[in-house]
Amino acid sequence: MPATPLLLRLSQPLSLDGGGTLPDAQIAYQSYGVLNAARDNAILVCHALTGDHYLAGPHPVTGKAGWWDRMVGLGKPIDTDRFHVICANVLGSCMGSTGPASIDSENGERWGMRFPVITIGDMVRAQAALLDALGIDRLHAVVGGSMGGMQALVWAAHYPERVARALVIASAARHSAQNIAFHEVGRQAIMADPAWAQGDYDPAGPGPAKGLAVARMAAHITYLSEEGLTAKFGRQLQNRDAKTFGFDADFQVESYLRHQGLAFTDRFDANSYLYITRAMDYFDLAEEHGGRLADAFAGSAAVRFCLVSFSSDWLYPTAESRRIVHALNAVGAPTSFVEIDSPFGHDAFLLDVPALDAVVAGFIGRSGT
Amino acid sequence: MPATPLLLRLSQPLSLDGGGTLPDAQIAYQSYGVLNAARDNAILVCHALTGDHYLAGPHPVTGKAGWWDRMVGLGKPIDTDRFHVICANVLGSCMGSTGPASIDSENGERWGMRFPVITIGDMVRAQAALLDALGIDRLHAVVGGSMGGMQALVWAAHYPERVARALVIASAARHSAQNIAFHEVGRQAIMADPAWAQGDYDPAGPGPAKGLAVARMAAHITYLSEEGLTAKFGRQLQNRDAKTFGFDADFQVESYLRHQGLAFTDRFDANSYLYITRAMDYFDLAEEHGGRLADAFAGSAAVRFCLVSFSSDWLYPTAESRRIVHALNAVGAPTSFVEIDSPFGHDAFLLDVPALDAVVAGFIGRSGT
């Protein structure tokens, strides 16, 4: 599998939902497996908030396995022996695609907070332009978990003729008030850091690392379940026999969270975090249809859908998947839905959950079918 | 009802669970209703993390009603016509009792982060010293919600001979990994603020207001339920017809949370927030008994208990109250337990929930009974 990213500079300015266009947008992507002669075995996998396009195989920067290596590869549920799998870094991110840390070609300056606020729809529009450039008219499937699932929903709603199947895992058709609230805490944590400097920090330096770490810590709690945290950490102490009666990380869960926060600041850009969380908060597929979600899928009756939720996911709980299923039923789209019993909370879609593998493999099926 | 706080300077150094003693500790408290001649109609109400001793009537600083005015007063469920109700500001707080913003009498300097780390047990020990000074041997009841419930549990476990009844609302006998995690996010948000200055900021100035506001925002989400947030705010916009495609508070829930964060910094001290959250994280009543909660109540069989939880409280969920009930059943303590159906999340104990009023009034009963 190739280790260097593929890059596409879009030939046309990208139209944005917020108005105007983004000139010279660049999309970093990666592909796995061979596109067949009929060009009908492509699967687009959409990544989550902080993900990237290094889906499978070793990550060229970290050396660790790609974020969905357990799901995508030879002989895996999304089998690269049969499918041509594509994953693109989302617009607004910092992993190679154009985002606030990129240079605005019109004035040679870093975008920073002058980057336009984008939407999930804009991310998908950029992916559609990528597929155009790759000569792929129609996807065998679009697949995503969490924010990736939101993109899969938009693909099915906005480009139903280009999607045979949509697999939406641990996701929602809108951000709830609680979802928005947690994201707002993260954004305020970043903006409260003087090193954020209204977004005009040097992305090569530490920037608002302290604020970004706090944002990640708060978000990370929402990715796990209470029962999972209790099972993994409980009230166990970190490398000590007794509480220190101080403010060190006495508890394992504190040490773990601090590590999650710090490690994140090494790999992610604070402004990108602001923009992508904003795109997620703005996401409400029903909104452009007067609040009626079924109307968003009025043209999607020929798309096959599969919705997956996890029992302990309280970020995008099963009720949100059910709401999508009801809308799809209303338009007669062939839809399957499964709630998988798992203690891992929202993060289950990234973890070792064999039941998910079976659902994915079964739904994706064989190329050409 | 008196508007000026009552103050007690403890005559003895206060022993602390972390070792050592705290000299010259001062406890600010308030009382309502008349102590009868038998001195057996006193009820101690314990406040939550950010509460104070102004329980009922107008608050002398804010002019608003005290935090439990709906529950305590003439003709109210805790009727001051019959009971002598006492509420003391907890040790470590910033509302009048000794805490990190106080002056260390031994060197004339502000304690700051040199204040000793305290526990819920220490708070209760200070309250016991207060009752000693007031000549109250035995309480008709000790009552508290959230952290106040933890104090009520400690009263019943450590001083069973001084407590006829313990009413524990929306609380837990230990802080879970998720509870600790949320508090750690708040502490890190405060400590990430350069204005925190290792705790040596001027409490009269703004101090680490930005970090404290972020801490409060994160905590505030945990006080509400997902369904409550959806019902109250949903995805409604704040004084605008359309999204602005910017980072202003477009959504009502964002505006609300920002307000909660900012308003909090006007009334609470950041170091106190660190110390009191730490005390809560350290709380595990079973720990000192080898993890067996029933053993903590071995001497409490003569205390009458009432446990109340709320169906939508995910901070201290019903399962935590049930765990306490099982332990009390194991020692044969007369215990009643009710889960009240409410959409208000953890904050229900402070809100207009008539079912709670009925439970409180019924359990507290009449003086002398």
- To the nearest whole percent, how much of chain B has pLDDT over 90? 95
Residues B144 and B97 in one domain: yes
Q: Is residue B1 a part of any domain in this protein? A: no
Q: Look-up: residue for tokens 């929202």?
A: A346
Residues B249 and B197 in one domain: yes
Our count of domains for chain A comes to 2
Confidence at residue A62, expressed as pLDDT on a 0 to 100 scale: 87
A-chain residues near B258 (CB < 8 A):
184, 188
Residues B18 and B135 in one domain: yes
Beta-carbon separation of B254 and A180 below 8 A: yes
Residues B74 and B220 in one domain: no
Distance from the Cα of A226 to chain B's closest Cα (Å) equals: 6
How many angstroms separate the CA atoms of B174 and B172, rounded? 5
- pLDDT grade for B369, boundaries at 50, 70 and 90: very low
What is the mean pLDDT of the segment spanning B291-302?
Answer: 97
| pLDDT-wise least confident of A178-182, B107-111, B287-291 | B287-291
Residues A199 and A228 in one domain: yes
Range of the domain at B67: 6-175+284-364
| Maximal CA-CA distance, chain B | 67
B-chain residues near A175 (CB < 8 A):
235
- The residue among B118, B214, B312 with the most chain A CBs within 10 A of its CB, best to mutate, is B214
SS3 state at B301: coil
The CATH code of the domain that includes A308 is 3.40.50.1820
SS3 state at A110: strand
pLDDT above 50: residue B282: yes
Structural domain ending residue among the three candidates B277, B307, B338: B277
Residues A302 and A162 in one domain: yes
B76 close contact with A: CB closer than 8 A:
no
Strand duo B26-32 + B84-88: pairing: antiparallel
Residues A262 and A286 in one domain: no
A244-282 pLDDT tens trace? 999 999 999 999 999 999 999 999 999 999 999 999 999
Q: Is residue A194 a part of any domain in this protein? A: yes
Confidence at residue A4, expressed as pLDDT on a 0 to 100 scale: 63
SS3 state at B293: helix
Neighbours of A60 (CB within 10 A): 13
SS3 state at A225: coil
Q: Is residue B81 a part of any domain in this protein? A: yes
DSSP string for residues in B139-170: BSEEEEETHHHHHHHHHHHH-GGGBSEEEEES
Beta-carbon separation of B258 and A188 below 8 A: yes
A352 close contact with B: CB closer than 8 A:
no
**End-to-end alpha-carbon separation of chain B, Å?**
25
How many angstroms separate the CA atoms of B258 and B262, rounded? 6
Residues A325 and A244 in one domain: no
B-chain residues near A232 (CB < 8 A):
177
Higher pLDDT, A49 or B2: A49
The CATH code of the domain that includes A218 is 1.10.1740.110
Q: Are A364 and A43 in contact (CB under 8 A)?
A: yes
Which of A217, A204, A199, A208 minimizes the C-alpha distance to A263? A217
B-chain residues near A193 (CB < 8 A):
192
How many angstroms separate the CA atoms of A62 and A49, rounded? 18
Which of B201, B220, B306 minimizes the C-alpha distance to B263? B220
**Residue B196: both structure tokens together:** 């925190």
Structural domain ending residue among the three candidates A277, A293, A327: A277
- The residue among A117, A185, A198 with the most chain B CBs within 10 A of its CB, best to mutate, is A185
The angle subtended at Cα B43 by Cα B41 and Cα B49, nearest 5°, is 175
Distance from the Cα of B216 to chain A's closest Cα (Å) equals: 9
Q: Are B173 and B197 in contact (CB under 8 A)?
A: no
Q: Are B72 and B55 in contact (CB under 8 A)?
A: yes
Residues B260 and B191 in one domain: yes
Residues B206 and B325 in one domain: no
State the alpha helices, DSSP H only, in chain B. 120-134, 147-158, 177-191, 209-223, 226-232, 252-267, 270-282, 293-296, 318-331, 354-364
Q: Is residue A369 a part of any domain in this protein? A: no
Q: Is residue B369 a part of any domain in this protein? A: no
- The residue among B226, B232, B273, B320 with the most chain A CBs within 10 A of its CB, best to mutate, is B226
Q: Taking a contact as any Cβ pair under 8 Å apart, which residues of chain A between 296 and 335 contact chain B?
A: 314, 317
Residues B24 and B78 in one domain: yes
**Residue B145: both structure tokens together:** 């919600």
Nearest to A274 among B176, B235, B247 (CB): B247
Beta-carbon separation of A214 and B185 below 8 A: yes
Which of B174, B176, B143 minimizes the C-alpha distance to B67? B143
pLDDT above 60: residue B367: no
pLDDT above 50: residue B317: yes
A227 close contact with B: CB closer than 8 A:
no
User: DSSP label at A100?
Assistant: T
Task: Tally A–B CB contacts below 8 A.
Answer: 153
A288 close contact with B: CB closer than 8 A:
no
How many angstroms separate the CA atoms of A263 and A265, rounded? 5
List, for chain A, all residue ranges whose pLDDT scores fall below the cut of 50: 1-2, 368-369
A83-129 pLDDT tens trace? 999 999 999 999 999 999 999 999 999 999 999 999 999 999 999 99
Residues in chain B: 369
| pLDDT-wise least confident of A186-195, B5-14, B117-126, B308-317 | B5-14
Confidence at residue A369, expressed as pLDDT on a 0 to 100 scale: 46
Residue B346 bears catalytic tag: yes
Nearest to B229 among A178, A194, A226 (CB): A178
Q: Is residue A1 a part of any domain in this protein? A: no
Residues A112 and A137 in one domain: yes
Confidence at residue B191, expressed as pLDDT on a 0 to 100 scale: 98
How many angstroms separate the CA atoms of A30 and A86, rounded? 6
B19 close contact with A: CB closer than 8 A:
yes
- Please give the mean pLDDT across all residues of chain B: 96
Q: Is residue A296 a part of any domain in this protein? A: yes
Beta-carbon separation of A177 and B235 below 8 A: yes
Q: Is residue A76 a part of any domain in this protein? A: yes
Residue B167 phi/psi, 5° resolution? -115, 115
Which DSSP helix (H) or strand (E) runs through A339? strand A335-340
Instruction: Report, in angstroms and rounded to the nearest whole number, the Rg of chain B calculated over CA atoms.
Output: 20
- To the nearest whole percent, how much of chain B has pLDDT over 70? 98
Q: Are B300 and B333 in contact (CB under 8 A)?
A: yes
Structural domain ending residue among the three candidates B277, B301, B316: B277
